[in-house]
Amino acid sequence: MDALVLHGGAGHKSELRDVMQKYAEEAFKNDALESVIQAVVFMEDNPLFNAGTGSNMRMDGSIQMDAAVMVPGDFGAVINIENVKNPVLVARDVMHHSPHLILAGDGAVKFARKMGYPEYNPATEKARERRDKVIQELRNGKIPSYYHPDFLMEFLGDTVGAVARIDEKFAAAVSTGGTSLTLRGRVGDSPIIGAGIYCGENGAVVATGIGEEIIRHMLSLAIYNRIGTAPLEEICREEIEKFGDVPVGVIAVSIEEECAVSNRNMPYAILRMEERNR
Ligand code: ASP
């Protein structure tokens, strides 16, 4: 059975589930990579998610986005890219049309322009308000600790990702605007292979939550390496338990299983398709 799993970020409101189910149905194609990319593009284009349009602003007011795609044996990522509509498409092009795996900063922007992606401002009023709130709270000395459980709800959250198993092939994609409470140049887990994303011959994993902690745990690779040793959902739960109270979530697919697990509210959609129904 084929499967496509989407997440809308640990800490996000779960009323997005319906729209995500629709995205999953519309994104489902006969190719795993195309399906995860299309699902992420839908969420990047919806300003309710923290990716593409609607991405968080850094404390200095800039928007720097990270995105990555992965299939067994290949990877592409953009880090701190600015002024593009769909970072995940640029990450795919890094994988397919450059000799590199990762492009960052102005080099990523230049590459995007060369590939034909026009200048686009992803800023929204909501993102501006969120960032203004961060600055105001900092001035008032009220900012919650970076690792405080409330932090994700307020300033992180809403990152998007997708994993798929289609025709026995796996793929993963992720995209994020990061968090408002960070310095320009900060990089989270999303574009870091093995941390926010991993995909191999046995499955695919994408993570969401406090990026710094996810990197420390190499969460996606930790889950991937255990595939086949226990039920997939149990593996994900056990790895998430290691984070204690730190907000984190994952979506994963293996050869026979698929799941979405988080220690916070995390909207997700799981689409299972029998080959004959396609
Ligand atoms: N993990 C992402 C980051 O730290 C944020 C998120 O998942 O909401 O950049």
**pLDDT (0 to 100) of residue 278:** 53
Minimum CA distance residue for ligand 1 atom 2: 211
Whole-angstrom CA distances from 116 to 112, 121, 123, 272 are 6, 16, 21, 34
> Which atom of ligand 1 has the smallest separation from the CA of 159?
8
**pLDDT (0 to 100) of residue 232:** 98
- Per-residue pLDDT tens digits of the chain, which is 278 residues long: 999 999 998 876 667 889 999 999 999 988 999 999 999 999 999 999 999 999 999 988 999 999 999 999 999 999 999 999 999 999 999 999 999 999 999 999 999 999 999 999 999 999 999 888 888 887 887 766 666 666 656 666 678 999 999 999 999 999 999 877 788 999 999 999 999 999 999 999 999 999 999 999 999 999 999 999 999 999 999 999 999 988 899 999 999 999 999 998 899 999 998 854 55
**Domain carrying residue 143:** 3-276
Task: Measure the N-to-C terminal CA separation of the chain; round to a whole number of Å.
Answer: 11
**pLDDT (0 to 100) of residue 197:** 98
User: What residues flank ligand 1, with Cβ below 6 Å?
Assistant: 9-10, 156-157, 159, 176, 178, 188-190, 196, 208-209, 211
**pLDDT (0 to 100) of residue 276:** 41
**pLDDT (0 to 100) of residue 148:** 66
Helix (H), strand (E), coil (C) string for the chain: CEEEEEECCCCCCHHHHHHHHHHHHHHCCCCHHHHHHHHHHHHHHCCCCCCCCCCCCCCCCCCCEEEEEEECCEEEEEEEECCCCCHHHHHHHHHHHCCCCEEEHHHHHHHHHHCCCCCCCCCCHHHHHHHHHHHHHHHCCCCCCCCCHHHHHHHCCCCEEEEEEECCEEEEEEEECCCCCCCCCCCCCCCCECCCEEEECCEEEEEEECHHHHHHHCHHHHHHHHCCCCCHHHHHHHHHHCCCCCCEEEEEEECCCEEEEECCCCCEEEEEECHHHC
**pLDDT (0 to 100) of residue 141:** 78
Q: Give me the catalytic one of 159, 176, 182, 208.
A: 159
> Which atom of ligand 1 has the smallest separation from the CA of 156?
8
pTM: 0.94
Q: Is 159 noted as a catalytic residue in this protein?
A: yes
Burial class (CB in 10 A: 0-12, 13-18, 19+), 180: buried
**pLDDT (0 to 100) of residue 144:** 66
- Count of structural domains within the chain: 1
CATH number at residue 144: 3.60.20.30
Strands 169-176 and 65-71, bridge-based pairing: antiparallel
Tokens of 85: 């509509």
Please give the Cα distance from 157 to 151 (Å, whole number): 9
